[in-house]
Structure formats: structure tokens, C-alpha cells
Amino acid sequence: MTSFAKQLLDWFDQHGRKSLPWQTDKTPYRVWLSEIMLQQTQVATVIPYFKKFLDRFPSVDELSVATEDEVLHLWTGLGYYARARNLHISAKKVMAEHNGEFPATVDELMTLPGIGRSTAGAIVAICHDTHAAILDGNVKRVLARHFAIGGWPGKTQTQTLLWDKAESLTPNNRIAEYTQAIMDLGATVCTRSSPDCPACPYFKSCHARINGTIDQYPGKKPKKVMPVKSTVMLIVALNGNVLLKKRPSKGLWGGLWSFPECESVEAIDSLLQSLNLEELERTRLPEFRHTFTHYHLDIEPIRVTIRETNRIAEPGAEIWFNVTAPQSVGLTKPVTKILAELPAIRVR
Ligand code: SF4
């Protein structure tokens, strides 16, 4: 075992977190779920979602037979919904192709949608205590700083250097604890903006700290100007319900429910016509911006009250969403935001 690993394990014995919900009863299903939820999301945010998800789907079998709506509903608010869709597809694959048992090797796990090399490594290391390296955001930060590995980790060359380090430092025993420890160190001590170096086991050996260059690691992603797109969202209100449409499974907000949209205010009439709805009153609501990874979306919400109608929502594609007694479906973030800010919607 390298002195890097030994120092880390000594630190973990004293300071590591050992009672997070997924650290007790470490089954591949629970560790997989936690690893997927923890991608791009902080531990404190994940904990209530993790518990709620497990209460509803205690096993991969139960998750595999759930509807996509139920899964997305439990994910609402956690963001990056492709994670939830992939989780659901992977559960079906585990049942259909692996007899309900999670594969035990990195290569096999990586055949499941949404499981990359680092997540596969974490599952193998934590559940089976078998040698496998991980390189999530926290680990990248610790390694980049300690060894002064420059460059943006998204670049192949930098990523290869980081993976080589991660592989060579992962010990051959106490692998599960080492894996947990290096994630913990990044999350609790070597944090992005205010690392607590005096509390770090690498205080004396960390190159970035010694050289006073911590803020240079990991290297930043090259900046590019994000394009701005715009859309009009129609909040069609009737008797305390709003009309929602299901987004196509693939693509933006796949499988989630959102307001009918059109490109501009001028297109509202034809949109209402195509929906077979008769407008009574129209109110412009404050515009806001939703930012995706690759672009900004400027949203102009417009509330439209309509004449009483017997029009039935198209099954599977539309719902009259009850604002006061919401159905269990996954909602896009703008829908959640608009509904939360618009109690007045309930009145008609
Ligand atoms: S000494 Fe500071 S910068 Fe270096 S690994 Fe530890 S916390 Fe991070």
C-alpha cells in the first residue's frame, strides 16, 4: 500500500463518514442508486431523495416494473433527469439479462446505461472490496491538487493522467474504505472553494498547497459563449387544473410533463386552435431564464383562461394537472417554478 493510501485510511478511521444511508447495508442496488444520485449533486440534497426512492422501490425488481412517470416523479427536483431514465432502463436490463443480480465487474457494469467507469469502479470497490479505481469530481480535485496535474479534467490527456494516478494509488486491501475515504476527503476537506488544508492528511505533501496554487487545480473548462434560445409556455388554466403535455422520451426533459409551448406570442392562437381550446383571458407573467449545460432558455410564461370544455386529455400524452392534488408525475423545473409562484392559477 502506498503512503498516500495509508495516510488517507488513517484519516478516514478518525474523520471519515461511516453512517450515510448507503453506507449501511451495502448492496449493489443501494450503492448504485446512491452513486447515480450523487453525480453532480451534494450529499445533503441526495439523502432525502435516496430514502424516498428506496421506500418506494426497495429492490431493483420493484424499480424495474415501475412506470417511467413514477420514477421521474420521485426524481423531481433532483435534476439531470437522464439519470433517472437510465436508472429505470438499467433496472429492467438487470432483471432481464442478469437474473436480477448486478454484474460484479467494471466492464460488465459499464454496459448498463448511465454507468460510466467511475460509477462502475465505485460499485465494485464498495460492494465487493475488489480492486477498482474511481475518478468522480471529488477525487479529480484531490488528485489534481495533490500532484499538481494541470489542464481541464474533461480533456482526454488530463483525464488519462488522472486515471493513471487513481489506478496506481488504489490499494489492494481495504479498497472499499479507501474508495469511500477519497470521495469523503474531496467532499468535506478538499472542497472546491475553501479547502481546509490544515485538516488534510496531505498537508505536508500536497504540491498545490506548497506552491500556493490551489485555485489553479483542477484546470477550468475553456469558456465559450452559451447560445440563448427562447420559448413561450402556455399555462392553460381551467377549474384549478393546468394542461400539461408529456415530452418525448428522448431529448430535452425526456419523459417529463411540461406546459404546451410555441415559439412566439404570435403563435399562441394557432397553438390554442390545435389544442381545440377557446381563450377567454390572457395574462403575461414575468419572464425568466433556465440554463442548461449547453444553452440558456428564456421562458415567457403566459396564463390563459379558457371557456369550459369537455375536451378530454389525450391519454398518455396530456393531463389536466390538478394543482392542489397533484398527480404523481415528473415535472420539468420551469413547471415546478411557475406553479410554486402562481397561487392565483388555482382560482379558475
Ligand atoms: S492540502 Fe489542501 S489542497 Fe491539498 S489535497 Fe489537502 S485540502 Fe486539498
Q: How far apart are CA 67 and CA 73, in angstroms?
A: 10
Peptide bond between residue 260 and the one before it cis (omega within 30 degrees of 0): no
The fold of the 3-216 domain, in CATH, is: Endonuclease III; domain 1 (1.10.340)
Confidence of residue 343 (pLDDT cuts 50, 70, 90): low
Residue ranges of the chain assigned to CATH 1.10.340.30: 3-216
Distance from residue 165's CA to the centre of ligand 1 (Å): 16
Q: What is the DSSP string of 98-166?
A: STT----SHHHHTTSTT--HHHHHHHHHHHH--------HHHHHHHHHHTT--S-TTSHHHHHHHHHHH
Q: How far apart are CA 86 and CA 57, in angstroms?
A: 15
Minimum CA distance residue for ligand 1 atom 8 = 190
Helix runs in 191-247, H state only: 207-211
Minimum CA distance residue for ligand 1 atom 2 = 197
State whether the beta carbon of 200 lies less than 6 angstroms from ligand 1: yes
Confidence of residue 52 (pLDDT cuts 50, 70, 90): very high
Cell of 245: 403535455
Distance from residue 38's CA to the centre of ligand 1 (Å): 22
Average model confidence (pLDDT) for the chain?
92
Query: pTM for this one?
Result: 0.77
Structural contact between residues 235 and 338, judged by C-beta atoms closer than 8 angstroms? yes
Give the pLDDT confidence score for residue 80 in this predicted structure: 85
Q: How far apart are CA 105 and CA 131, in angstroms?
A: 10
For residue 311, give the DSSP letter: P
Ligand 1 atom closest to the CA of 141, numbered from 1: 8
Give the pLDDT confidence score for residue 348 in this predicted structure: 45
% of the chain with per-residue pLDDT over 90: 74
Q: Is 292 exposed, middle or buried (0-12, 13-18, 19+ CB in 10 A)?
A: exposed
Structural contact between residues 189 and 196, judged by C-beta atoms closer than 8 angstroms? yes
Distance from residue 145's CA to the centre of ligand 1 (Å): 7
Q: How far apart are CA 120 and CA 97, in angstroms?
A: 17
Distance from residue 192's CA to the centre of ligand 1 (Å): 10
pLDDT in tens, 76-95: 888 888 899 999 999 999 99
Structural contact between residues 334 and 299, judged by C-beta atoms closer than 8 angstroms? yes
Structural contact between residues 21 and 51, judged by C-beta atoms closer than 8 angstroms? yes
State whether the beta carbon of 189 lies less than 6 angstroms from ligand 1: yes
pLDDT in tens, 166-175: 999 999 999 9
Domain spanning 228-347: CATH 3.40.980.10: no
Residue ranges of the chain assigned to CATH 3.90.79.10: 228-347
**Is 70 tagged catalytic?**
no
Q: For a ligand 1 pocket test, name from 140, 184, 200 the mutation site with the most ligand atoms within 8 angstroms of its C-beta.
A: 200
Q: What is the mean pLDDT of residues 90-105?
A: 94
Structural contact between residues 200 and 185, judged by C-beta atoms closer than 8 angstroms? yes
Q: How far apart are CA 348 and CA 345, in angstroms?
A: 7
